Structures are given as C-alpha cells and as structure tokens.
Chains A and B, each alone.
Chain A
C-alpha cells in the first residue's frame, strides 16, 4: 500500500476500501470505548456550558455515558458471544469474554464513582465538570487494557488510565495531603511505567515482536535455540513482573498505595482500589498468562520461571499488607493496606494457574468490586461539613445513628474478611482451593499462609464493627451526608455481597466463562486433568 508516483487515483483506490474495512472493524470491536470517549467530551462541553452552580449536569451526562457503555459491552457479549474471541485492528485488540467482563467492571466502577462523588464534591465545594470527564477518560483506559493484545496498545491504555488518575488524586484544591499524594503517586507511577517499559523493550528485543501471541511462541524458541538468551529474557521478565507488581500494589512494591489512597478524595480512592486495581490485574493476566505463559515454569534448567517470583510476591503482599493494616488509625490508610493484602490473594489465582485459579481470580475481583465500593461509600457518607470522617473513631456509635448503614458496613467488613455467608468467602474459597488442587507442596503451604492471613485480617475488619456497635456515640455529631446515588450504591453492594455469598452460581458461571480462554499452566501433576473437570467453573459452561 505504499504511495507510488502514479498519483492520487491509485492511493485512493487502495486506501479508501481498506480504511472503510478498518472503520467497520473499529465499530464492531471498540464501540464501548468510543461511546465512553464521546461522553467524556460531552461532559467537558456540558461543564463549559453549564454555570458554576450546575456542574452536576456533567456528572449526569457522564452517568448516561457509562450506562450506554455498559449496554454496549453486554450487547457485544450477547450478540457476538459465539464468534469470540475476535482479534482485530491489525492484531492490537482482542475481544473475548475476559476483556468484556473487565470492560464491564470498568464501566460499573466509573458509574459508581460518579454516583458517590456528586454529594462528596459538593461537601468539598469543588464540584467541576472536568472531574467527571477525567473519570471517563480513565475508564476508556481501563476498558482498553483488558483488550490489549500487543505490548504497545497495553502500555498506552495503561498510561491513559494512570495519567487520568494522577490528576484525580490531586483534584482537591488547597488540600496538602491531596497534592502530596498526587505527587508521590505520579513520581512512583512514572518510575514503575519506566521499569515496565524497560522489561517490554528487552522482551521485544529477543522476540522481535510486541504481539502477545508472538511473544508466547518466539521467547521459548529463542531460548531453546540459544541458551544464553535466558539471562536477557530473565532480566526482561523480572522487570515486567516488578512493574506489574507496582501497578497492582503488591508488596514490596506497594509504597505508593497508602499515601495515595489516604490523600486522594475518597471517591477517587474507591475508584483506584476497584477500577484501577481490576484493570491492573487484567494487564498482569494479559502479559504474564497470554504473553509470557510458556515461561511460567523453568524453561532452562537452573533458572526459575515467573511463577516463583509471583508466588513470593503473593506471600509477601498478603502478610505485609495485613500486618501493616493492624496498626493503622486512618480508615482510608487501613483499606489501602487491606487492598495490598487483597492483591496478594488475587495473585494466588495466577500462581495456581489452573482453571479454578483463573476463575477464582476473576471471581475475586468481581466480588471485591462490590464489597470495596460499599465500604468506601459508607466512608464517604461520614465526610460531612467540617468532619473529615476518615478515622476509625468516626465510625463510633454509627449503629445508633444509622442502623441500616452500620449493618451494611458490617456486611462489607465480613465480606472483605472472607467470612461466610458473604461473597468474600466464595472468592477466597476458590483461590485457596485452586492452590490445594494443584497438589504442589509449596502451593499448598501458600494456601495455608493465606488462611493464616485471613485470620489476621479478621481482626482489623472487626475493629470497624466494634467501633460501630460497642463504642459510645460522639456527642452532637451531625447526620450522615448521603445522596440517592450513594444510598443506591451501598444497598446494591450490600445485597450483592450477601446474594453472591448465598447463591454464587451465576457469578461463578460468568467468571468461569471469562477465565475460560486463559491458558492453564501445563503441569506434570497427574491429578490436574481430573480435577479440572470437577471444577465448577468448567461445569457451568
């Protein structure tokens, strides 16, 4: 298709049909992203047109965009379900159930964030339409990440998400903590992107392609042709794992998380701990499982695969996150450390690498969205008037003032702690059972460590419950700052947390469908195949 000297006619006759094809492909595959991008621009226009007192209109426009985006995602799943996975746009973009589920999570996360932001921003006296546009831009990034089939598109999508969130973290005017958090998050985020990019460049240098499917073929081939290359690939994979660990905030690469979570406006903290975390896990799964899947176990004798480093990361993240959370007084900071621990739990699914593990990973992220959003929504309602409302002591006597809210908060805390009959228990059960199912001695030990960690975490989650029910009310504390959107989020999250805990089959079926195309680890363990057939994720299909 090079432009020859023969003139415009040749160029038009070749370029126009292919451009039309390309546009049709974009329409078929990337409609949800297009809708959300258009509504982000619309929110900007509304913000500009509406006066300073009507900025909330931009929020409503953005909510409409997320609703249409969700409709688009669901309709692709229903209409094209049989033809999935579809790879398009010159191999840069893949639409499969995994991508669609994570796109759905991103859109829902954006909608919830907008819903719980409206009253909060009024309380902070900083309601501006650009805020909602930035949430939608971040969402576009989060929707592109799980569809990335190429290191390049993955990286740009990641940066689109990250840059929007850096700005959102620093959104609160005149709040020193918000500014400091944004600066720290930006610097460490840029640094971790650099680490990730360095790893990508080394891996690309060996494979000669940035396509994930090509990496999966070319890397093991290159190593088997020339054993010396294992060092170069090893450094590249190590850098990739470190960069990804930064993004999912797995200890010891989590140092940005507590400060960023504490300083950010609380709705943004919720957005980060749910939307950004889910998208980061999608990125991790795409790169490690799709791209570097064959390097999971040792390729060359004497060199461990990435399963060892991810397993160590999971163990360290769970333990460090839970132990650090024990000492926290600030609720946002505590939830940040709990998010570090939850990253560790979710990584267990990748380490297990079997069908059940992948199902558990997706399932865990889905239920984590509901539980965490509920908890943060209650926290946001505590921010009213002159009360910052983000300490654990702010929960004192909540049961007397707002019994319904306190009851739902108890449900979220039990869910995050993984106590039945909540959704958190189902998620943890899948992840731990997947480890035991592999039959590997070390992985079973890891499951035991995870169980111990669950017990530790129950202590600090129950601190909230104790504060709400056992401690005395603060004298003269004003009522909660709620709004219809926020109440809806709390109630729906609470109902989901309980409903999934009691009747998990539909969510397990969806998670199993999303995880179905992820390549399982080829293990020498003989029991693997029979166990896989027995896994409910497979049964549900």
Chain B
C-alpha cells in the first residue's frame, strides 16, 4: 500500500494526462476493430486519432499533433464517414465465426507478445538510458521544416514518390471496379459483345489528378 501511495504521489500532471489519453486511445482502437458497424468504427477512430494527438503534445510535438487533428481526425475520417454513408454499408454479419479455432491461437499469441513487450520495458531499468533532449522548440513547424529538407531529405522525397504511387495504385484498383461493371453489363446484354474500353478523355483526367 505504501509503495502505491508513494508511486501515486510521485506522478505529475503530465503522467495523469498521459494515462488518460493512452487509455482512451487503446479503448477506442479496440472499439474500431470490434464494432460491427463501420460507421461506429470510423467514429471510434476519431477518438483514437485525437488522443494520439494529445499524447504528441505531451511529447512536445505540437506540429505533429495539429497535423494529426487536421488531416486524420478532420479530413480522412470525414471522408470515411461520407463514403460509408454514400455506399450505405450495413453492419457486417460475422463471418469470422468459421475461424473460431484460430482464436485459441491468436489470443495466447497476442498475450505472449504483450507480456514480452511489457516485461522488456518493466525490467529493463530504463533510467540508465539518457533521453534525447526534447526542448519546447523541437516540435515546432520551423524545426520540422528544417529537418525535413536537410537531415530527412531522402525519406521525405521517397515518401513523396510513395504517395504519388499510392494515388496511381488507388486509381488502377478503383477504375478496375468500373471495368468489371462494364464486363458484367456485356455478359447480361449479349448484343454488346465487347466491354467498352475506357475513353481517352477519362484517362487524361486520371493523370491530371496525380
């Protein structure tokens, strides 16, 4: 009991906030995976992103926190919700039941991984590690911009190629669905023997986007 009270008295406000946001992040991310309704999952994801952003602030990464809120919680999740609503996705029926036996492997494996990571952090006496000096200026926009274009230039450029590739890949996969529809239409109406090829104008537009 004494150890617990002395531990609690050693905590600062920062610790309390960390635990609060960490618990919210874990709980809401569990909710993301366990919800049957995609809409609820998407909304739970907002909470995950927001609490992660709060933890970024505690780590003195203010810029990252702001970006996290604006881009993820703001833009991307809103897009998710729009898509879910437009497509009128229903709650998915549980098809995972046929993998029921796998749960007996999955849960112990997850436990082993968790306990391994927990033990590693708990028993490693991390105080001997000298933490990198994080000043209040570390997470500002200026500092990040400077790092991005000097020290981290290569990863930054590689990431930009990656994002460009991701746009092309998304277009390839998304326009494929349209082709399948065309083929299905051709099968249903035998008069149209060949599936219509994508129009050239359409292709031009795709590249302008990328």
Residues of A within 8 A of B (CB): 1-3, 18-19, 22, 26, 30, 37, 40-41, 44-45, 47-49, 51-52, 89-90, 92-93, 128, 130-131, 133-134, 137, 140-141, 144, 150, 152-153, 156-157, 159-160, 163-164, 166-167, 170-171, 173-174, 198, 202, 205-206, 208, 222, 225-226, 228-229, 231-232, 234-236, 238
Beta-carbon contact of A167 and B146 below 8 Å = no
Closest Cβ of chain A to B105, distance in Å, is: 12
* Known contacts A130-B168, A163-B165: A208-B129 contact under CB 8 Å: yes
Nearest-neighbor residue (CB-CB) of A36 within chain B:
B161
**Contact B153 A22, beta carbon cutoff 8 Å:** yes
Q: How many A-B residue pairs have CB under 8 A?
A: 138
Q: How far is the CB of A99 from chain B (nearest CB, A)?
A: 13
Q: Is B76 part of the contact surface with A, judged by Cβ < 8 Å?
A: no
Q: With the chains together, A58 CA to B95 CA distance in Å?
A: 42
**Closest chain A residue to B169 by CB distance?**
A167
Kindly identify which residue among A48, A130, A174 contacts B183, using a CB–CB cutoff of 8 Å: A174
**Would B125 and A228 count as touching, CB distance under 8 A?**
yes
Does B107 sit within 8 A of A, measured CB to CB?
no
Q: List 24 A-B contacts (CB under 8 A).
A: A1-B150, A2-B142, A3-B146, A19-B149, A44-B207, A45-B207, A52-B200, A89-B154, A90-B153, A134-B165, A140-B158, A150-B155, A153-B158, A156-B155, A156-B158, A156-B159, A171-B172, A173-B179, A205-B129, A206-B129, A208-B129, A222-B129, A234-B120, A235-B117
Q: Complex: how many Å from CA A263 to CA B152?
A: 37
Complex interface: chain A residues within 8 A of B154 (CB): 30, 89-90, 92-93, 144, 153
Q: Inside 8 A of A225's CB, which chain B residues have their CB?
A: 128
Please give me the residue from chain B that is nearest to A88 by CB atom.
B154
Q: A174-B183, A228-B125, A229-B124 are in contact. Are A163 and B161 (CB under 8 A)?
A: no
Residues of chain A lying within 8 A (CB to CB) of residue B203: 47-48, 52
Kindly provide the distance from the CB of A491 to the nearest chain B CB, expressed in whole angstroms. Answer: 32
Check if A47 sits within 8 Å of B150, measured CB to CB: no
Q: Is the CB of B161 within 8 A of A140?
A: yes
Q: How far is the CA of A130 from the CA of B120 in the complex (A)?
A: 46
Q: Which residues of B contact A153 (CB under 8 A)?
A: 154-155, 158
User: In whole angstroms, what is the CA distance A231 to B152 when docked?
Assistant: 30
Chain B proximity of A323: nearest CB distance (Å): 22
B132 contacts partner chain A, Cβ-Cβ < 8 Å: yes
Q: A92-B151, A157-B158 are in contact. List 18 more A-B contacts (CB 8 A).
A: A2-B143, A3-B142, A44-B207, A48-B206, A89-B154, A92-B154, A131-B172, A156-B159, A163-B165, A163-B169, A173-B176, A173-B179, A202-B120, A229-B124, A231-B124, A232-B120, A232-B126, A235-B117
A234 to B117 CA separation, bound complex (whole angstroms): 10
Q: Which residues of B contact A202 (CB under 8 A)?
A: 117, 120
Complex CA gap A152/B176 in Å reads: 33
Could you say which residues of chain B place their CB within 8 Å of the CB of A22?
A: 150, 153
Q: Chain B, 17-50, contact with A by CB distance < 8 Å: what is the 0/1 string?
A: 0000000000000000000000000000000000
- Please name all residues of chain A whose beta carbon is closer than 8 Å to the beta carbon of B172 when the two chains form the complex: 128, 130-131, 134, 167, 171
Chain B residues with CB under 8 Å of A30's CB are 154
Contact partner of A163 (CB less than 8 A), chosen from B116, B120, B129, B162, is B162
Q: CA–CA, A231 to B126, complex, Å?
A: 11
Q: Give per-residue flags for B101-131: 1 if the beta carbon is below 8 A from chain A beta carbons, else 0.
A: 0000000000000001101110111101110
Q: With A and B bound together, what is the CA distance between A506 and B166 in angstroms? A: 40
**A-B pairs with lowest CB-CB distance, top 10:** A167-B169, A48-B207, A137-B165, A226-B128, A232-B124, A52-B197, A235-B120, A90-B151, A228-B125, A92-B154
Residue of B nearest to A235 (CB): B120
Min CB gap A303→B, angstroms: 12
Q: How far is the CA of A191 from the CA of B151 in the complex (A)?
A: 28
Q: Which one of A37, A166, A235 contacts B116 once the chains associate, using CB atoms below 8 Å?
A: A235
B residues near A137, Cβ cutoff 8 Å: 161, 164-165, 168
Interface residues of B (CB under 8 A from A): 116-117, 119-121, 123-126, 128-130, 132, 142-143, 146, 149-155, 158-159, 161-162, 164-166, 168-169, 171-173, 176, 179-180, 183, 197-198, 200, 203-204, 206-207, 210
Contact of B150 among A18, A49, A208 (CB under 8 A): A18
Chain B residues, CB < 8 A from A1? 146, 150
Among B146, B162, B204, B206, the most chain A Cβ lie within 10 Å of the Cβ of B162
Contact of A152 with B162 at beta-carbon distance under 8 Å, contacts A52-B197, A225-B128 already known:
no
Pick the most buried of A19, A160, A166, A208: most chain B CB atoms within 10 A of its CB: A160
Cβ of A156: which chain B residues have Cβ within 8 Å of it? 155, 158-159, 162
B172 → A minimal CB distance (Å): 5
Contacts of B143 on A, CB cut-off 8 Å?
Answer: 2
- Interface-centre pick from B121, B128, B155 (highest chain A CB count, 10 A): B155
* Max count, chain A CB within 10 A of own CB: residue among B120, B151, B165, B203: B165
Q: Which residues of A contact B124 (CB under 8 A)?
A: 226, 228-229, 231-232
- Is there an interface contact between B169 and A164, defined as CB atoms closer than 8 Å? yes
Nearest chain B residue, comparing its CB with the CB of A206: B129
The CA of A159 and the CA of B120, in the complex, are separated in Å by 28
Q: How far is the CB of A37 from chain B (nearest CB, A)?
A: 6
In the assembled complex, which residues on chain B have CB atoms less than 8 Å from the CB atom of A44? 168, 207, 210
The residue of chain B having its C-beta at the shortest distance from the C-beta of A41 within the complex is: B164
Contact B129 A231 (CB under 8 A): no
A152: which B residues are within 8 A, CB to CB? Answer: 152, 155
Chain B nearest CB from A188 CB (Å) reads 14
User: Closest residue to A195 on the B side, CB-wise?
Assistant: B113
Enumerate chain B residues within 8 angstroms of A40, measured Cβ to Cβ. 165
A356 to chain B minimum Cβ distance, whole angstroms, is 33
Quote the shortest CB–CB distance from A186 to chain B (angstroms). Answer: 10
Min CB–CB distance B22 → chain A (angstroms): 16
A231-B119, A232-B121, A235-B117 known; A159+B162 contact, CB < 8 A:
yes
Is A174 a contact partner of B179 (Cβ separation < 8 A)? Answer: yes
CA distance A235 to B121 in the complex (A): 10
